[in-house]
Amino acid sequence: MKKRGFICKTVCFTLLAACTAMALTGCGEEKEGGTITFTNVSYDPTREFYEAYNELFAEHYKETTGSGIELVQSHGGSGSQARSVIEGNDADVVTLALAHDITAIENAGLIEEGWMEEFERNSSPYTSTIVFLVHSGNEKEINDWDDLIKEGVEIITPDPKSSGGACWNFLAAWQYAKTTFGGDEEKMKEFVSKLYHNVLVMDSGARGATTTFVENGQGDVLIAWENEALLTLQEYPGEYELVTPGISILAEPSVAVVDENADKNGTQEVAKEYLNYLYSEEAQRMAGKYYYRPSDETVLQEFADTFDLSVNLCTIDDFGGWDQAYEDFFADDAVFDEIYAAQ
Amino acid sequence: MKQAKRKKSIIPGFGMSMGVTVAMLSLLILIPLASVLAYSFRLSGKEFAELLTRPNVVQSFVTSIGCAFVAAVINSIFGVMLAWVLVRYEFPGKRLMDGMIELPFALPTAVAGITLTKMYSDSGVLGRAFEKMGIEIAYTRTGIIIAMIFVGIPFVVRAIQPVLETLSPSYEEAAYMLGASRVNVFWKIIFPEIRPALFTGFGLALARGIGEYGSVIYISGNSEKNGTQVVSYVIMQKLNSGNVDYEGAAAIALVLLIISFSMLFFINIIQHIASRRTNA
Amino acid sequence: MEERSSKIAKWCLIGISVAFFLLMLIVPLFEVLYRALADGLEAYGTALGAKTTLSALKVTLLATVIAVVVNTVFGLIASWLVTKFDFRGKNVLSTLIDIPFSISPVIAGLAYIMTFGRTGWAKPLLDGINEALGTDIALVFSVPAVVLATIFVTFPFISREIIPLLYAQGRDEEEAAAMMGASGFTIFRKITFPHIRWGLLYGVILCAARAFGEFGAVYAVSKARGKTFTLPLEIDALYMAGSADSITQAFAVSSLLVGMALIMLILKNIVEYRGKRDDL
């Protein structure tokens, strides 16, 4: 008797579990009557910003349409996030670290051509740049890129092979070398090679690198997104200093509607509104509050105290666009592999 | 399943169980894995060789296998000791200790990973103590070894315990009576008995260490320069990079698989020989 | 003299073992608790009550339950097949069943992506099925994907526990029963099942422990926080968020998993104890 009970229970359990699974998978459709679920696939350092923005947008959406919206966030390394969308991660919009990653999704046929013109300013609602974060007092006297190659300086920066932010870091260093050595390729390679051999820990993502530097106390300097660095200063007042190098790069994180998914989910309209609203004054101000440089000039001026607006910034166009830059520097056996293997 | 030649069994259910087993196995395991294999075979022999001789790939194999080996050796020493203490001695807290040995099996690796990292980094309790002695643990190979010791210890203890339990203390007593030293008794009498089991435990701990991901990545620092990238990390890196490299990831995974398989096979052989010798 | 030195040796060994045990296994547990409560009980409560944590808990439990059920059914059927019948290719089959043990979990997730992902070869097939049934089930980056990945890594856990027991038991009893005309199900229920009861439960516990802690495989197929994340992924997300608060939250969520792991260990010990008692 006891044993039959066991088997009965097992059978019931199986059925129950199967039903639950089906119910859960069915959730997406059932909800569409009242609330829609909407997924934004983004990269690591935007966590806090989008958490806040999603609340703002949900309110805005409720006001204008009267219906609710449930926003789901996904964060990770920019490259792997793009890949997950290509593989079937059901993103309605992507907000990634570099245009190159969005182009990859476009090439897979998920995003229609011309996405860069779909929204203002090359579809970059906010920008950032690359700065150094050092321990309070700056004992190693790190003021510009050439201080990073001094002996005994330990650098924390993520791996360009897996992190979009790290690519920007590399290109900023390269740009410095280019202006310093007047385009002498050998010397430039030597410079970045020295720099990368001072790297102590190479995490797979920008967030991991920040954690390593701040929480686990590794290294003397973190090459970081400006927004990450400023956020850290706010979180740990008095413990760190921000150093703006003489030359840096204007990092333009891009956004796009993933047309195929949005059409399938019936969220094309919402998706457009979601990204358009990023350019609204409130959203721009919010971006500034989370230490992204607002693309709106007037809002940017409001944050003139926060950002060093005088820094000499090059752009990705100086490298012939992202696809070219990726090919030249980060593909297997390209410049990065070469300089990292040297020595 | 017509070809399956079998002695007629009177027990019913062959067709049903064969059908269900093969169907589930194929759907859930074999077919998905075949896709991975298919991917890794897209590389030509030359590309394959080039990929595997890349410095970072070679280094990651050295790191993974080297650290796993050291961890397995340390685990063998402490594993034998723990098993011995648990079988032969009575002391307060023994049952608790016995029950908790398998904690690393039950504790999610991510939890183990972040906890060990915090403990052994400069800001952690043990990390600070070791730093004063001039030993850095987190973000070095030492850290990787510690994580691997953590995940591997139950394998050794659980392999040796049952053997020790069946080993009667009377032989040792007799040896002592004849004036043998403690060290001699261990090496001449106890060790030969537990050797096959020790090999098994050692092999399992080693295999686990080589493939380990969750508990290692946080503490390792993943620096190519310091040689702290493990193989699993390199696979992940291939999957995370801007130009995702499935073929490369699958190829490295394949090599990893072959290594762990052949190791287990090798250890099985040693064990087999050893058990024959003791029986003879 | 001999007596005394033996005592010294005994307590030395116990001392070293206990020290190793405390340092490697127990201190990390307290570290989790200590860090989880670093910001006080209230923050601890908030961390556990967060929407994303609850959602992750739900997904984790769902995946664990389904994985255990599926693997139990499979384990029973497969071990019945392997132990009660002779057929060609049996050794190959039992090796294939054990494959998930030796495969890096990362590859398991990857395998599903390569098969059922948007670019996978089985995607059109899946689309066809979805269209025919009017459903919209995705087998990657969704809750079913998490469940599948969990099933994959825990696949052999139960069959592995049962097969040795069934081998030891032999076939005579079943054959006799079959000769007397008992049906397959009756034979299983009346004869086979009592022998493997405790082994089965033991396997279920191991399977569950592994299922709720899985990281690598699930990491590959689950990207949406608050929707498809499991507890280990939530911990990773919190830990990676980088601020001191979120790291404390990561440890708060970890403490939940530590609790689950400890429950599994206690259950395992009870099952082992009862199993041994029943054998006598």
C233 pLDDT band (50/70/90 cuts)?
A: very high
User: Which residues of A fall within a CB distance of 8 Å from B224?
Assistant: 202, 340
pLDDT in tens, B77-95: 999 999 999 998 888 888 8
Tell me whether strands A93-96 and A254-257 are parallel, antiparallel or unpaired: antiparallel
Same domain for C124 and C3? no
Contact C63, C146 (CB under 8 A): yes
What's the CATH class of domain A130-250+311-341? alpha beta
Contact C248, C39 (CB under 8 A): yes
Is the pLDDT at A146 greater than 60, yes or no?
Answer: yes
Look at the alpha carbons of C100, C102, C107, C111 in this order and tell me if their dihedral is positive or negative: negative
Q: Kindly state the average pLDDT of the residues C71-82.
A: 92
Look at the alpha carbons of C198, C199, C204, C206 in this order and tell me if their dihedral is positive or negative: positive
Is the pLDDT at A16 greater than 80, yes or no?
Answer: no
The residue assigned the tokens 């071990």 is: C79
Residues 6+ apart with CB under 8 A from B210: B64, B65, B68, B231, B256, B259, B260, B263
Q: Running DSSP on this structure, what letter comes out for residue A96?
A: E
Per DSSP, the residues of C42-77 read: HHHHHHHHSHHHHHHHHHHHHHHHHHHHHHHHHHHH
Look at the alpha carbons of A168, A173, A176, A181 in this order and tell me if their dihedral is positive or negative: negative
- Strand ranges inside chain A, DSSP E: 36-42, 69-74, 93-96, 126-135, 155-156, 199-201, 221-225, 240-243, 247-251, 254-257, 293-294, 312-314
Same domain for C77 and C115? yes
Q: Do B108 and C262 touch (CB under 8 A)?
A: no
Distance from CA of A132 to the nearest CA of B (A): 20
Task: Provide the mean pLDDT of chain A.
Answer: 85
Q: Which of the pair, B242 or C252, is modelled with greater confidence?
A: C252
For residue B254, the model assigns a pLDDT of: 85
- pLDDT > 90: what percent of chain B? 23
Strand, helix or coil at A303?
coil
C94 inside 8 A of chain A by CB? no
Q: Running DSSP on this structure, what letter comes out for residue B5?
A: -
Same domain for C158 and C108? yes
Q: Return the closest-CA partner of residue B96 out of C255, C269, C263.
A: C269
Residue A209 and residue B139: Cα distance in Å, rounded?
Answer: 12
Residue A89 and residue A265: Cα distance in Å, rounded?
Answer: 13
A6-127+253-301: CATH topology is D-Maltodextrin-Binding Protein; domain 2 (3.40.190)
Same domain for C260 and C180? yes
For residue A22, the model assigns a pLDDT of: 46
Residue of A nearest to B124 (CA): A216
B277 pLDDT band (50/70/90 cuts)?
A: low
pLDDT in tens, C108-121: 888 888 888 888 88
Residue length of chain A: 343
Residue A17 and residue B172: Cα distance in Å, rounded?
Answer: 55
CB pairs under 8 A between A and B: 83
For residue B118, the model assigns a pLDDT of: 87
Residues 6+ apart with CB under 8 A from C140: A87, A88, A89, C112, C113, C116, C117, C118, C120, C221
Same domain for C210 and C106? yes
pLDDT in tens, B17-47: 899 999 999 988 899 888 888 887 888 888 8
Q: Return the closest-CA partner of residue B114 out of A137, C260, C80, C234.
A: C234
Nearest to A101 among B55, B224, B242 (CB): B242
Distance from CA of B45 to the nearest CA of A (A): 17
B3 pLDDT band (50/70/90 cuts)?
A: very low
Strand partners, A199: A155
For residue A331, the model assigns a pLDDT of: 83
Strand, helix or coil at A311?
coil
Phi, psi at A39, each rounded to 5°:
-110, 130
Tell me whether strands A93-96 and A36-42 are parallel, antiparallel or unpaired: parallel
User: Which residues of C fall within a CB distance of 8 Å from A72?
Assistant: 224-227
Is the pLDDT at B148 greater than 80, yes or no?
Answer: yes
Contact A278, A125 (CB under 8 A): yes
Q: Return the closest-CA partner of residue A212 out of B73, C242, B208.
A: C242
pLDDT in tens, C175-217: 888 888 888 888 888 888 888 888 899 999 999 999 999 988 8
Q: Give the pair of three-digit tokens for residue A104.
A: 């990859």
Distance from CA of A212 to the nearest CA of B (A): 8
- CA gyration radius for chain B? 23
Distance from CA of B221 to the nearest CA of A (A): 5
Q: Running DSSP on this structure, what letter comes out for residue A150?
A: S
Same domain for C100 and C7? no
Same domain for C216 and C164? yes
Q: Return the closest-CA partner of residue A98 out of A329, A341, A337.
A: A329
For residue A342, the model assigns a pLDDT of: 67
pLDDT in tens, A89-139: 889 999 998 888 899 899 989 999 889 889 988 899 999 999 999 999 888
Tell me whether strands A69-74 and A36-42 are parallel, antiparallel or unpaired: parallel
Q: Kindly state the average pLDDT of the residues C163-182.
A: 86
C97 pLDDT band (50/70/90 cuts)?
A: confident
Q: Do C213 and B106 touch (CB under 8 A)?
A: yes
Residues 6+ apart with CB under 8 A from C202: C161, C268, C271, C272, C275
User: Which residues of A fall within a CB distance of 8 Å from C193?
Assistant: 3, 6
Nearest to B242 among A100, A205, A215 (CB): A100
pLDDT in tens, A199-220: 887 777 788 788 888 877 788 9
Same domain for C54 and C27? no
For chain A, the first-to-last Cα distance in angstroms comes to: 74
Is the pLDDT at B146 greater than 90, yes or no?
Answer: yes
For residue C130, the model assigns a pLDDT of: 85
Q: Which long-range contacts (CB under 8 A, 24 or more apart) does C271-275 make?
A: C271/C198, C271/C201, C271/C202, C271/C205, C272/C198, C272/C202, C274/C198, C275/C198, C275/C199, C275/C201, C275/C202
Q: Running DSSP on this structure, what letter comes out for residue A131?
A: E
pLDDT in tens, A164-203: 788 889 999 999 999 999 888 889 999 999 998 888 877 7
Q: Give the pair of three-digit tokens for residue B66.
A: 């080297």
* Ramachandran assignment for B241, one of left (phi > 0), alpha (psi -120 to 50 degrees), beta (any other): beta
ipTM for the complex shown: 0.85
**Number of folded domains that form chain C:** 2
pLDDT in tens, C58-73: 999 999 999 999 999 9
Is the pLDDT at B274 greater than 80, yes or no?
Answer: no
Q: Which amino acid is at A134?
A: V
Contact B61, B136 (CB under 8 A): no
Chain B contact residues (CB < 8 Å to A): 55, 117-118, 121-123, 138-139, 221-226, 233, 236-237, 239-245
For chain B, the first-to-last Cα distance in angstroms comes to: 42
Nearest to C227 among A4, A72, A76 (CB): A72
Angle between helix axes A268-276 and A47-65 (nearest 10 degrees) is 120
Q: Residue C8: which domain range?
A: 1-36
pLDDT in tens, A274-293: 999 999 999 999 999 999 99
In this structure, the number of other CB atoms found within 10 A of the CB of residue A207 comes to: 26
Query: Residue A142, exposed/middle/buried by CB under 10 A (0-12, 13-18, 19+)?
Result: buried
For residue A205, the model assigns a pLDDT of: 77
Q: Do A6-127+253-301 and A130-250+311-341 show the same overall fold? A: yes
Per DSSP, the residues of C135-190 read: ----SSSSHHHHHHHHHHHHTTHHHHHHHHHHHHH-SHHHHHHHHTT--HHHHIII
Chain A contact residues (CB < 8 Å to C): 3-4, 6-7, 10, 13-14, 17-18, 20-21, 24-26, 28-29, 37, 39, 41, 44, 47, 72-76, 81, 84, 86-90, 108, 205, 207-208, 210-211, 214-215, 232, 235-236
Task: Provide the mean pLDDT of chain B.
Answer: 84
